[in-house]
Structure 1
Amino acid sequence: MNSPFWSLVMRYFLEFFSMVPCAVLCFLPVQDRLRRKPLNLFLTGIPLSLLWAFAGGLVCADFGIPRDFWILPSFILFAVFFHRVCDLALWKPFSILLSVCAVFSCITNLTLFADALIDRTNTSGLFTLPGAGIHLLLSVLIVAIVWYPATHAAKWLVDDIEMAKTWYIFWVFPAAFFLLNRLIRPRYYETLYTNRVMKFYPILILALLTFLLLFYFMFYLMASEMNQNTRLLRENELLQLQSAQYRNLQRSIDETRIARHDLRQHLTVLSGYAANKDLDAISDYLASFRKHMMPEWLPSYCENQAVNAILSYYAQIAEKAGTALEIQAQMEKEIPVPEPEFCVLLGNLLENAVDACRENNESGAIKVHIRQTGTSLIAITVDNPCRKPPVLEGKRFLSTKHSGPGIGTQSIRLIAERHRGDARFEWKNGMFYASVILIPSAES
């Protein structure tokens, strides 16, 4: 095999390897949704890509096979692999792949223009060696340019935009754009030298590339606006639910206070029985009282009365459900967040824990830790036994009471975000861990 053969192999190799940056760009928006570690994919993917490009160069150069016969089946295999390695529904990886291909079709057309300037007599259907080098350089350059948008804006779209109809429509434009770039690509370089085509062709390609990137940017802005509107609607619904829950909780607390206030009426009855020395009546009345009457005192867990009432209320419910609340609360009388919001957040955490223990017949204790650091931080953890792992849909827990995501966990997350904090939920080894941090602002 002579030097021209290896020169041809190198031309094929550079063209094939120019597609590796395209594959890298596909993985950037989904790096947190991969079923394998990104570093492992990179360390195995690059050597395999080199081997694939070199093998393709040898096969195509030796047997005179057009490059598309090597690229097309490889593209199909990559598309299947990309879908399998991503923890996403089919329509998202498909849209990402088409979007990247549309961008790189512009890069190929720009390279074709540069290659025509290098050798206008090239009719092999393959870039010259310098042209293939330019193709690889432009491919790496475009990945470097869009690296930040791909790892931030595009990543946000993949993670947060769950409306399938949006993605069903999105793929149409990049697919049409890719086909357009294929159609305007001249078969022979001499076509570019006809009339004034050479002057307008690069301007047309750059304009199309700019238009494509602007379309992606506009899609991001529209998706962001739609997501903001959806979030506001969801917040309003959750606020209404929170208000209703807080009113119900307040009603239960008021009933407890009324029961304590009415205790003196029971004492009057007992005094009458005692005056008549009717011990049997006293015994019967006390038995009935013990069965139906709420406790005449509330345990003191912290200095804040509302929080103490919430903790006492759910401690009583947990006890009736056959479990116990182990509470450690370090809170001041005044808390730096609105009291109704904090009570709703704490109530949701405790209600979820008690319900999980009741539904699964758990016997272990629910451990509650609350710590307030002045006006700068409030940390809450609620750990409860839970033998069955909760069902996840994306990043949201599904409710056991109705179809769809759990409202309580959504409410907790929203309140935490509103106070510059964070809420995390994790199931591990038969335990469910809920952790919330609130960082109140000065306005709170």
Structure 2
Amino acid sequence: MPELSSVFSLVNYAFVLFFGIVAALYLADIGFCDHKRVYVLTLFFFGIAQLLFYLIMGESVLYKCYPFLIHIPLIALIFLRFHRNLSISAISVLSAYLLCTPRKWFGTFVAFFFDRNPVVSNIASIIITIPLLVLVIRFVSPYIIRLKYESRTTLLLFFLLPLVYYVLEYTFTVYTDLLYTGGAVVIDFMDSFLVVSFFILSVLSLKFSSEKNKAERENILLTTAATQAQKEIAQLSASQQQAAIYRHDLRHHMNFIQSCLDQNNPKEATSYIHEICTNLEHSSVIRYCVNESVNLIVSSYANQAAVNHIPMQISITATEFSRFQITDLCSLFANALENALHACQQMNPQSQRYISLKVYEKNTQLCIQIKNSYEQPVVFADDIPISRSVNHGIGVQSMISVVEKYHGVYGFFADHGEFRFQASM
């Protein structure tokens, strides 16, 4: 029986080595298909070294020398041969070591039902090796691989936690047996370590989540601002092109009018002049606001409303916009007016459609009120209108982000066929 136990113990060590090396390489983004030769040679030479050490020095010495015999050389291999970041190299090896823990626990758990037989423990650990490795490669490695794109703070966190566990594991179970003989002091220390680690992870996770949400909001603003800038450029380009055409054709217009007058045909000349004036009015940007960018956005949507036969009332008495970024103002007004325009376009009959924009200053605050008629039911979630249509709903998020950026307040209301957006910032 002792010989059988030694055989299975040696086989188990071979499976531990296989699991650790393969898991570490995959966690470092070194796949088997692209590096078959490296896998074979690494497993062979590390296996030979482990076997010789086991036969010459014994299992106990091998276990204590494992960091210097396997772990540190494996980190050096990943760092020097595959040119991975040193932090990534260490994280991949330490994480692979941590992931060996469930494998060991499974063997201990199964052996518990067989009077803690070490042979059963080794056999169970061997059996679970391949399924656990597949789970690690498929579900864990993709996330560890992404660490190379993360900040130094994130890398430090993922490095320190497995490193501390690694040091404690070897200190309390390999080089000493304090975990089993240290009593309450060691047990309380391990409990404290787990609690502190949990709170550190929680705080950092919340911090990273907050930064991510902030970045996403800023990205929404930038995307919306870029879209509105394209619309502004397109409108200016169209206006300038039309003006250039009229300047170029001015001589022809004047000649035609002169010809009408020479032929004593004033009605046709008057009609032609009226047509030119109408076209010029349609191509001009009406001034609603002292701020050029805001005026351009409002004018653009006023023109769209006119084309769609939607009455639009505009009153902008506010004059102080210097404390706001132009991209934020354009994003706010453009999204609000676009939503209002979209709601009116869905209405039938058309006679009930309208949009109202009012912007004024009160107690040094910029106050905005946009009202429009609607027909389709408005769905709210936490007092925020939502849309289940694809590519819709981002505009509302962008509007909220702008108002919150300037520590303002906002509100969305819908009743009796009228939708209102109000903001003060």
What's the TM-score, normalizing by structure 1? Answer: 0.45
Question: Larger C-alpha radius of gyration, 1 or 2?
Answer: 2
The structure where helix makes up a greater share of residues is 2
